[in-house]
Structure 1
Amino acid sequence: MFAQADGGFDSHTLRHGGIEQWWLTSLENWGPQGHVGSNPSSSAFASLKLGYGGYCPPERKRAWCGNVVHMKIVSWNVNGIRSIFKTTFRDWLASENPDVVCLQEIKADTASLTEEITQIDGYFAYFNPGLKKGHSGVAIYSKVEPVSVERKLGIPRFDAEGRCLKLTFRDFALLNFYMPNGGRFKDDMPYKLDVYTQLFPVLKELSGQETVLAGDFNIAHTELDLYYPKQNEDNTMFTPKEREQISTLINLGYVDTFRCKHPQQKAYTWWSYAYNSRQNDIGWRIDYVFVSKPLEKLIVDSFTQREIVGSDHGPYVVVLAKSFDTKTPPVYKKTQIQDSLFS
């Protein structure tokens, strides 16, 4: 059902190959007192209140100690990729040092994807911007070059809005979604539910393989996933019909990586800009990373990052006891020219 498609941009056309090697992340990369991939006195730590983003508490470090290798995957609705690059993204990326970053709601057309955004040393970059300027769109930064990139699901409106990006690697598939919201007055609810209905057969087919589903699903699944469940029972993102979609996804064989590690914890990924919601942690958990059953045993850690600002969403981080097989990530030069926008 997925198809190779025009309309997306990737950075591999800008580079000149690489040397094949095994890329493994080990605990030798831990810095002083558990800082990952960056000196705690660096500008990243000076300019951001990172919390779990840049510091690994002793209890978390102990939890990782048995894993010689790990893969860190992040899902983050940035609510505009250009604005996030002007604020927190670069410092956050340097300090968090993720292997894969799935971004949603990038709100950028191809003309807005400048070199600063498309060419980040150490990462291959893939984009699926929506056709309507300033709306939707998704992106993935990966330290590994995938075997294939797919951008169309076969749902005309969904595809035109740039809401999905699938990367297939040597031994697993990664899908990044920005699912429809449904609308405050539910005017788009039929569209939202129809997308889920059409998506489920595709995901069922992938559920027996090693598959990762990341993104903004625009649904809080249970009462643990929002601060005011009773007051929102008939509101968009928490109606019974919407919640059923996440239940169906789990019944297809996918594991909510946050609930796997934190069965009863209340933690959120989105906060309204009104009423000091973020400051008071009055939020919703609508951003997820699901993994198929074959990957469940590899879930090492998962956590939200309310303290990382720049969007009304915070990053959601998952760590898997899994390594990447990769070519050397690209190092870009200022003289390189963006000679091909779409593949």
Structure 2
Amino acid sequence: MKLISWNVNGLRAVVKHDFKNIFDQLDADIFCIQETKLQEGQIDLELPGYHQYFNYAEKKGYSGTAIFTKTEPLNVTYGLEDEDFNHEGRTITLEYPDFYMITSYTPNSQQKLKRIDFRMGYDDVLWAHMQKLSKDKPVVLCGDLNVAHNEIDIKNDKTNHQNPGFSDQERAKFSELLDSGFTDSFRYMHPDEVKYSWWSYRFNARQNNAGWRIDYFVVSNNGKDMIQNADILNDVYGSDHCPVELDLDIKEK
């Protein structure tokens, strides 16, 4: 089973360019999107063979997530169990027979970490959601998690220390999740590989590969043996992020 996650930085914008061709070429079983930046009725996206699920932010042109899946899920849940974190369309959970699929557009803690408390609260509620579900069956979390976990995951670690996405607090919080029984699939498959998934639009960052790895597939340890491959598709353009991929061995029942 092939899973793709991509922060498109505006779905309407990327659809006007090459999204459909990229989508068709990747041919994912489940394709997760973050930062859709749209409201219900603002896009008519024809994706034959896929069921479409959107979670919209209340604020127009902001945040938002979507999942396109070939297999209809058993259940769909929008948001988390704390309503404080459900106004920005950041989370969707699909239940399948063999696992749960969650996509997250994790809040950016913003300059001077002015939104760090909201960000930490979101992580706590999301982590609890994942831990609860993982007692039932494996959990796969994907999305723009807005954190470069270790120095290997960011080009300029020293100059970015305590910047949003590379603060000690955010990195420690992500460590908490992994320590509680979850695996960063890319780092599991590629312990020493340097590869990034986001580049600033400034300073020719992408051309210079001055990037950050902030887009992930995280798998609960009770599903770790399903991981076949994990990759970062940094030859795919159209956003300031590139897609990330996870291939799972899901036995047909």
Tell me which interval the TM-score lies in, with the shorter structure as reference length.
over 0.9
Within the candidate set 201, 218, 232, 1:290 is matched to 218
Match of 1:112 in 2: 42
Match of 1:214 in 2: 142
Native 8 Å contact 2:56 2:88 kept in 1? yes
Alpha-carbon shift at residue 280 of structure 1 (Å):
1.3
Match of 2:58 in 1: 131
Within the candidate set 185, 189, 205, 1:257 is matched to 185
Task: Provide the secondary structure at the position in 1 that maps to 2:86.
Answer: helix
Match of 2:237 in 1: 309
Matches within 5 A, 1:1-343: 71-114=1-44, 117=45, 119-208=46-135, 209-323=137-251
Q: Distance in 1 between matches of 2:219 and 2:7?
A: 19
Segments of 5+ residues of structure 1 without an aligned counterpart are: 1-70, 326-343
Alpha-carbon shift at residue 219 of structure 1 (Å):
0.5
Are the structure 2 counterparts of residues 281 and 323 from structure 1 closer, same or farther at C-alpha, using a change threshold of 3 Å?
A: farther
Alpha-carbon shift at residue 205 of structure 1 (Å):
1.6
Q: What's the TM-score, normalizing by structure 1?
A: 0.71
Alpha-carbon shift at residue 231 of structure 1 (Å):
1.1
Q: Distance in 2 between matches of 1:104 and 1:201?
A: 21
- Percent identity over the alignment is 37
Segments of 5+ residues of structure 2 without an aligned counterpart are: none
Q: Deviations over 1:28-61 (max 9, x none)?
A: xxxxxxxxxxxxxxxxxxxxxxxxxxxxxxxxxx
Match of 1:3 in 2: none
Q: Distance in 1 between matches of 2:24 and 2:239?
A: 18
Q: Distance in 2 between matches of 1:172 and 1:229?
A: 35
Task: Provide the secondary structure at the position in 2 that maps to 1:231.
Answer: coil
Q: What's the TM-score, normalizing by structure 2?
A: 0.96
Q: Distance in 2 between matches of 1:136 and 1:240?
A: 24
Q: Distance in 1 between matches of 2:252 and 2:206?
A: 35
Q: Distance in 1 between matches of 2:183 and 2:171?
A: 15
CA-atom RMSD in angstroms: 1.3
Task: Provide the secondary structure at the position in 1 that maps to 2:113.
Answer: coil
Q: Distance in 2 between matches of 1:288 and 1:174?
A: 13
Larger relative contact order, structure 1 or 2 (CA cutoff 8 Å, min sep 6):
1
Which amino acid counterpart does residue 181 of structure 2 have in structure 1?
G
Alpha-carbon shift at residue 323 of structure 1 (Å):
4.6
Q: Distance in 1 between matches of 2:66 and 2:158?
A: 34
Native 8 Å contact 2:81 2:125 kept in 1? no
Task: Provide the secondary structure at the position in 2 that maps to 1:165.
Answer: strand
Native 8 Å contact 1:233 1:239 kept in 2? yes
